[in-house]
Amino acid sequence: MNCNLCGTPLDDKIYDSGNAKSLTSLCTVHAGRTQVYVCHGCAHVQSVAMDDIDAYYDDSYDILVDSEEEDQIYEVVAGQKVYRTEHQVRVLRDKIALSSGMKILDYGCAKSATMRTLAGLTPGLEVHLFDVSDRYRPFWDKFIPPERGATYETPAAWTGRFDAVTSFFSLEHMAQPQDALRKIAALLKPGGIFYGIVPNVFANTADMIVVDHVNHFTRPSLAYLLRANGFEVQDISDSAHRGALVFVARKLAQPVGIQAPGRDEVQVIAESAHAIADFWQKAGSRVQAFEQTLAADTPVALYGAGFYGTFIASWLKSPQRIRCVIDQNPFLQGHPLHGAPVVAPADLPVDIGVMLVGLNPAHARQVMDDIAAFAGRSLNYFYL
Ligand SMILES: [Zn+2]
């Protein structure tokens, strides 16, 4: 297998799930194996693509398709929830100037709550949408005319048409990112802006083992991809959106030659990637070792309805001991997950003494400390 960005043969495998089950970014179990490599040519971190990747996105990729308003929590500040869409719109407006008459295309847009919000804030902005599935059409119809939406292929008339193309959490799924970038570059006018956001595996380490994320972009590998497709990189930020890289690139009138990143830079990234992979290689055994310290009938609460919580649940020998899943997202509360109800922190049953914390270990302890409902409770915590 070769790097899908620079073509270098991939011979440094850093993670292999073996026979263990794989998890998708939607927190579902996938029968296939997860294998991750680091490229010593461009510092890209790349997973082996799922066999049935096209069918997976067309048929089973139900991201937030249940309702129009459903959204993910970005952060909770002083008890106030900030949703992901709201934050994405704020960062986009901060990074690029938008005005009436501008033509903007959200490429791989899904429901495109971000563009819907943006359109409402910028009168006259001509929003266009593209995705590889028809399933989101009913959402698009509520805020754009049908001719501004395209599925599977973009129309020929869109070539060279756009002032800006956006991509929110989409490039990480693509088995052929070079093809996507070539198409995006062709859709833009010279001088047009490509704005995007991808997961940052160094800040949100679970991204490493999500089986449907083929690409785990690093700062140099993302810059390489952009430059290889005729873009000037204006900004790659790892602080504008927690756990992600936000980039702004401009389409050059004339492409310039590109260089792979230096050996030292690649080496530093390869070592960091190995450390994250080692963490996940051992994490499942750590869950089981903790579980062995509990009596067979001890019930537990699982904190976190997202990926980290699903990882813990998937490794428990007795997942039926999960009495409830605790999550602050009101869209999830009341629904079943891992065979238990999702409840708010204040609804933790009084007889529960064990809390499995399914959160990013970088923030997990802080999040637990900040929950008023757990203060004064005597809980035995497990952290990833
Ligand atoms: Zn590479």
Does some domain include residue 285? no
Query: Angle at CA 308, nearest 5°, toward 39 and 306?
Result: 115
* β-strands 188-199, 162-168 pairing: parallel
d(CA 198, CA 208): 13
pLDDT in tens, 260-305: 899 999 999 999 999 999 999 999 999 999 999 999 999 999 999 9
Query: 211, 212, 182: which is closest to 194 by C-alpha?
Result: 182
Centre of ligand 1 from the C-alpha of residue 218, in Å: 11
Centre of ligand 1 from the C-alpha of residue 40, in Å: 7
Centre of ligand 1 from the C-alpha of residue 375, in Å: 48
DSSP 355: E
Kindly list the distances between the CA atom of residue 321 and the CA atoms of 49, 264, 302, 348, 355, in Å, as whole numbers in the listed order: 34, 48, 10, 15, 11
Residue 350 belongs to domain with CATH number: 3.40.50.720
Centre of ligand 1 from the C-alpha of residue 8, in Å: 5
The stretch 193-213 carries a mean pLDDT of 94
Same domain flag for 200 and 78: yes
Average pLDDT, the chain: 92
Same domain flag for 133 and 246: yes
pLDDT in tens, 301-353: 999 998 899 999 999 999 999 999 999 988 889 989 999 999 999 999 999 99
pLDDT in tens, 89-115: 999 999 999 999 999 999 998 888 899
Same domain flag for 99 and 248: yes
Does some domain include residue 239? yes
Centre of ligand 1 from the C-alpha of residue 219, in Å: 12
Centre of ligand 1 from the C-alpha of residue 7, in Å: 6
Does some domain include residue 115? yes
Centre of ligand 1 from the C-alpha of residue 141, in Å: 39
Centre of ligand 1 from the C-alpha of residue 330, in Å: 41
Same domain flag for 89 and 202: yes
Beta partners for 1?
none
d(CA 307, CA 326): 13
Kindly list the distances between the CA atom of residue 384 and the CA atoms of 211, 289, 291, 309, in Å, as whole numbers in the listed order: 19, 12, 13, 10
The stretch 120-126 carries a mean pLDDT of 94
Centre of ligand 1 from the C-alpha of residue 143, in Å: 39
What pLDDT sits at residue 21? 77
d(CA 333, CA 81): 15
Centre of ligand 1 from the C-alpha of residue 168, in Å: 22
Does some domain include residue 182? yes
The end-to-end CA distance of the chain, in Å, is: 31
Centre of ligand 1 from the C-alpha of residue 226, in Å: 13
Does some domain include residue 111? yes
- pLDDT grade, residue 58 (50/70/90)? low
Does some domain include residue 271? no
Same domain flag for 102 and 247: yes
Centre of ligand 1 from the C-alpha of residue 263, in Å: 12
Same domain flag for 245 and 378: no
Could you tell me which residue, 55 or 233, shows the higher pLDDT? 233
Centre of ligand 1 from the C-alpha of residue 204, in Å: 21
Centre of ligand 1 from the C-alpha of residue 9, in Å: 8
Structural domains in the chain (count): 2
Same domain flag for 241 and 327: no
d(CA 38, CA 266): 9
Same domain flag for 143 and 213: yes
- Flag whether pLDDT at 164 surpasses 90: yes
Domain boundary among 255, 285, 303: 255
Centre of ligand 1 from the C-alpha of residue 269, in Å: 12
The stretch 167-176 carries a mean pLDDT of 93
- Flag whether pLDDT at 16 surpasses 60: yes
Beta partners for 9?
2
Range of the domain at 352: 293-383
Spatial CB neighbours of 365, under 8 Å, sequence gap ≥ 6: 383
Centre of ligand 1 from the C-alpha of residue 104, in Å: 30
Centre of ligand 1 from the C-alpha of residue 317, in Å: 39
Centre of ligand 1 from the C-alpha of residue 37, in Å: 10
Residue 208 and residue 243 in contact, taking contact as beta carbons nearer than 8 Å: no
Domain boundary among 204, 228, 255: 255
Residue 214 and residue 229 in contact, taking contact as beta carbons nearer than 8 Å: no
Centre of ligand 1 from the C-alpha of residue 38, in Å: 8
For residue 271, count CB atoms less than 10 angstroms from its CB and return exposed for 0-12, middle for 13-18, buried for 19 or more.
exposed
Same domain flag for 222 and 135: yes
Kindly provide the b/e burial profile for residues 188-202, where b requires at least 16 CB atoms within 10 angstroms of the residue's own CB: beeebbbbbbbbbbb
d(CA 247, CA 94): 12
Domain boundary among 233, 255, 277: 255
Residue 153 belongs to domain with CATH number: 3.40.50.150
Centre of ligand 1 from the C-alpha of residue 6, in Å: 4
What pLDDT sits at residue 60? 57
pLDDT in tens, 244-264: 999 999 999 987 888 889 999
Same domain flag for 192 and 338: no
Same domain flag for 146 and 230: yes
d(CA 114, CA 85): 5
Centre of ligand 1 from the C-alpha of residue 116, in Å: 35
Lowest-pLDDT choice from 9-18, 68-77, 150-159? 68-77
Centre of ligand 1 from the C-alpha of residue 186, in Å: 23
Same domain flag for 223 and 356: no
Does some domain include residue 365? yes
- Flag whether pLDDT at 46 surpasses 90: yes
d(CA 31, CA 28): 10
Centre of ligand 1 from the C-alpha of residue 176, in Å: 13
Centre of ligand 1 from the C-alpha of residue 196, in Å: 20
- pLDDT grade, residue 184 (50/70/90)? very high
- Flag whether pLDDT at 54 surpasses 90: no
The continuous run of DSSP H or E covering 198 comes out as strand 188-199
Centre of ligand 1 from the C-alpha of residue 29, in Å: 29
Does some domain include residue 37? no
Q: Give the DSSP per-residue string, 123-171.
A: TT-EEEEEES-STTHHHHTTTS-GGGEEESS--GGGTT-EEEEEEES-G
What pLDDT sits at residue 65? 43
Centre of ligand 1 from the C-alpha of residue 34, in Å: 19
